[in-house]
Structure 1
Amino acid sequence: MAKENKMMQRRRFIGNISKAGLLGGLLVSSTGSIANEIEALAAHPGEGHIFLVNPYLQAPEPDSMRVMWITNKLCYSWVEYGEGAELTQKAHETTNGLINAYNRVNCVQLNGLKPGASYRYRVVSKEILDFEPYELKYGETITSDTFTFQTPDPKVKEVSWLVMNDIHDRPASIPHLMKLAGNDAYDFVFFNGDMFDYQTDEEQIIRHMLAPCADVFASRIPFLFVRGNHETRGKFARNLTDYFSNPGQRYYYSFVRGPVHAIVLDTGEDKPDSAPVYAGIVDFDAYRKEQAVWLEKEMQTLAFKKAKFRVVMMHIPHYYSGDWHGTLHCRELYAPLFDKYKIDFFIAGHTHRYGVFNPVKGQHNYPVIIGGGPTEGKRTIMKIKANEQVLQLSMLKDDGTEVGKYEIKSKR
């Protein structure tokens, strides 16, 4: 009964996700500093001690997995896990000899895992009531349900994943689109930017993305994330990295799954850095140039050269998205490298108009796939499967209608 009460408390805190999604509103405070908002959120004395977000999986690797979750009280937290029925192992994060504690946003990496193995786990958080220099007092301990995940196997010959983009603070879209995956298996979910309109506080991030993801799939299946231009906006945008854990702990990265070498780029804002709305506190031109240097080095690696399929995913497409500065700068920096190193597939969002564009000689020698969104009738989910011979993409509109598909055969 106590567990059911806590779940009801959590549900009341998270709110009616479907209504929030339909309204598209931001359930945030309009006054006060970020520090005050976080402090107020952490208090919630009437809620007892609860998980604001159940565990969600990040940064999957053959020998590791990161587990994140959020509590409403300051805690010492850890993960209990194991291969069999018994959760015989325990993991917490340590920094410079100090175990991470007296915090609410948790990220624990499980190391030394076996590739392609199935693990069971749960998270535990023990409230810290008082933290004096020589005396620490604990309060209530809460424990999550037990979940299962599987580590990637580098020896597998196939991979499948889902792509969503441009949700724009409509959390009801996440479970709705996920249902369209049906009973098909998938290895991870990729969010290709603009999950939010702008970042105002933690509660928005929880209600509009993390909670629906954890409730639907993310406690069992990891997700990866890259910013869109809207994730660079708002007073909480600089705190966003606290709630996600990408490979390399940054917004641009690469990974290999089966026959696919994937590259993820952070395209930044779509307007010039000098635009008045940015008030002189952005520097995306330099950031995109930094990524171009990294991109060429990554494309020179043996893993990239050997891959049966080379896939790039980023939010702003460098073609078919107008002539704003962000689009043109991405085209200037990345398009020559995409052609020089012969990528096979490109996936983007941003335009809110889904489309499948065949290769065009002299522009892009690879298909450009753009997802839709965010309103009803324009929302899309992409289903991608690849083995050593063929890569297939199917893009579904939110009524289940297939509105785009593409298939390529391996050239290597």
Structure 2
Amino acid sequence: WRGETWFTFRIGKLWGIVVDCGEDKRDTDPEYGGVVDCRGMRLKETEFLRDVIRRQEEEYNAPGVKTRIAISHMPFCTKQVTMNLEKFTIETEIFQEWTVLLNEMKLDAMLCGHMHWLGVVEPGSVDMQWNANFPVIIGAGVYKDRQSCRNKEHLGAKYAGSGLILNDHELRVETVDERGQHNTLFVKKCE
């Protein structure tokens, strides 16, 4: 799987997996001019996810791993990603399988962007699809104007981003906007 846009990584006690969802509309969408094959990429990536599970003792169940995260641009296992629009409702069978496979990895969280707002979708919430057993943190807000910000902590901001902070006690996601306004978006105690 070397050289692909999906991979696993290890930094100390942290194990992570990066998944590449490709574009957010069907390959046939006129926006792409017939030059993308995200479906083919996703099928290859599904094999990669299965392979990670086969090699779990070298990956997320390796000695010393205490925290497990996934990183995906699109929060594909949440209902928000489709915004109830048909053109964004794509690859449901593949993304459902990815969710099942990621569930097996016992993730502490998935970090995402794409939605242009900040928030956390918890397992079991009405906004989660396919019974994901991990929280999905949507951590990038880009606002058209200062009035379109959906997060009270960053009202008046044009942009807010997030950062992951991990220590022996907790996994935390902090947000900050261009004015330096900080907020804690997510905290999970580490075992």
Cα displacement (A) at 1:313: 0.5
Could you tell me which amino acid in structure 1 is paired with residue 138 of structure 2? I
Distance between the aligned counterparts of 2:42 and 2:112, measured in 1? 16
Pairing partner for 1:356 from 107, 120, 123: 120
Matched, 1:305 2:65: no
Cα displacement (A) at 1:397: 2.6
Match of 2:98 in 1: 334
Q: Secondary structure at the match of 2:52?
A: helix
Alpha-carbon displacement from aligned partner over 1:251-292 (angstroms, at most 9, x marks no partner): 111110011111111111111112233333221112112111
Task: State the identity as a percent.
Answer: 25
Distance between the aligned counterparts of 1:254 and 1:373, measured in 2? 26
Do the aligned residues in 2 keep the contact of 1:360 with 1:366 (CA within 8 Å)? no
Could you tell me which amino acid in structure 2 is paired with residue 290 of structure 1? K
Q: 1:359 to 1:400 in 2, by over 3 A?
A: farther
Q: Secondary structure at the match of 1:271?
A: coil
Could you tell me which amino acid in structure 1 is paired with residue 56 of structure 2? T
- Name stretches of at least 5 consecutive residues in structure 1 with no aligned partner: 1-246
Pairing partner for 2:50 from 288, 291, 296: 296
CA RMSD in angstroms, aligned pairs only: 2.5
Pairing partner for 1:285 from 25, 39, 46: 39
Larger Rg: 1
Distance between the aligned counterparts of 2:93 and 2:38, measured in 1? 10
Q: Secondary structure at the match of 1:287?
A: helix
- Name stretches of at least 5 consecutive residues in structure 2 with no aligned partner: 147-156
Q: 1:387 to 1:296 in 2, by over 3 A?
A: farther
Q: 1:262 to 1:272 in 2, by over 3 A?
A: same
Matches within 5 A, 1:41-60: none
TM-score (structure 1 length as normaliser): 0.37
Q: Secondary structure at the match of 2:45?
A: helix
Do the aligned residues in 2 keep the contact of 1:312 with 1:347 (CA within 8 Å)? yes
- Aligned residue pair count: 165
Do the aligned residues in 2 keep the contact of 1:269 with 1:326 (CA within 8 Å)? no
Cα displacement (A) at 1:325: 3.2
TM-score (structure 2 length as normaliser): 0.74
Match of 2:153 in 1: none
Q: Secondary structure at the match of 1:391?
A: strand
Do the aligned residues in 2 keep the contact of 1:339 with 1:365 (CA within 8 Å)? yes
Q: 1:270 to 1:330 in 2, by over 3 A?
A: farther
Match of 2:160 in 1: 380
Match of 2:139 in 1: 371
Matched, 1:259 2:22: no
Q: Which has the larger strand fraction?
A: 1
Q: Secondary structure at the match of 1:393?
A: strand
Matched, 1:273 2:22: no
Cα displacement (A) at 1:329: 5.6
Distance between the aligned counterparts of 1:330 and 1:343, measured in 2? 19
